[in-house]
Structure 1
Amino acid sequence: MVLCEDGECSVCLCTYSRADRVPRVLHCRHTFCQPCLETMSRAEAGLLSVACPLCRRVTCVGRGLSLQEALWVNSRLWEQIPEEKDEEEAEEKEGQLKRDDEAPSRSARTRLRLPALLRRLRLTKQNPETIVPGSS
């Protein structure tokens, strides 16, 4: 497994985000996005466990807790992730570029629609409250 840049999960190679790809820290101090951790987790005898894909150390989660509740958010990476306002401004700029361009290619239209689709999906998806260390 290749170690990636700090802003990416080394399993799926996707950039961390504050909404759906939250960077969570295993007990071995390696960080992965929440969806990858959920995919790698195993339930045995009422306990959740995740084997780190880098060092193979197993992180166990107590009974009745989800990975989201039990694992800390990597605060160093969390602070580097742009807030949603910044993302919305970038999407507005993309929309303006789309309006300025009279006949964008099909692939350009698809790329411009994708952030809007993801935003709509994020708004309809019920996200449980995320606890961030050091916040009040």
Structure 2
Amino acid sequence: MVLCEDTECSVCLSPFSRVDRIPRVLHCRHTFCDPCLETMSQVRSGLLTVCCPLCRRVTCIGRGLSLQEALWVNSRLWDQIPEDEDIEDQDKEEEERLKQEAEQQSMEAKQHVSQTF
């Protein structure tokens, strides 16, 4: 039994994204994010392999292929990931940066006023 939502990796419990946590499907049809698959992968007899943490079936990757080249993206989950997620994150970061700058300027103004008196 998996205690996570469909929209998050069952290993790290982080939500899938279109940039750094792309949902990829193993041969057993279980889906995990790119960073977790990279962490779980091992080289055995010259082949890159991933042992599924849910069912223990081993997925073998062809010689010379990376995980990203060999494993399909879970299109059902991909379609659920908002396309503008990254833009929203950038907007939040910019908003936070501007807020910190405003606070910094306010503190400097208060210090200037207190030094004047």
Match of 1:64?
64
Match of 2:41?
41
The DSSP-based 3-state class of the residue aligned with 1:80 is: coil
Change (3 A) 1:26 1:3: farther
Alpha-carbon shift at residue 37 of structure 1 (Å): 0.7
Query: Aligned pairs, how many?
Result: 103
Match of 1:17?
17
Alpha-carbon shift at residue 93 of structure 1 (Å): 5.3
Cα distance between partner residues in 2 of 1:94 and 1:70? 34
Match of 2:79?
79
Match of 2:108?
none
Point out where structure 1 has 5 or more consecutive residues left out of the alignment: 104-136
Point out where structure 2 has 5 or more consecutive residues left out of the alignment: 104-117
> Identity of paired residues, percent?
70
Cα distance between partner residues in 2 of 1:49 and 1:96? 43
Cα distance between partner residues in 2 of 1:47 and 1:11? 23
Between structure 1 and structure 2, the one with the greater Rg is 2
Alpha-carbon shift at residue 91 of structure 1 (Å): 3.8
Change (3 A) 1:86 1:23: closer
The DSSP-based 3-state class of the residue aligned with 2:15 is: coil
Deviations 1:53-91 (A, max 9, x none): 0000111111111111100000011111111x3431454
Cα distance between partner residues in 2 of 1:89 and 1:95? 10
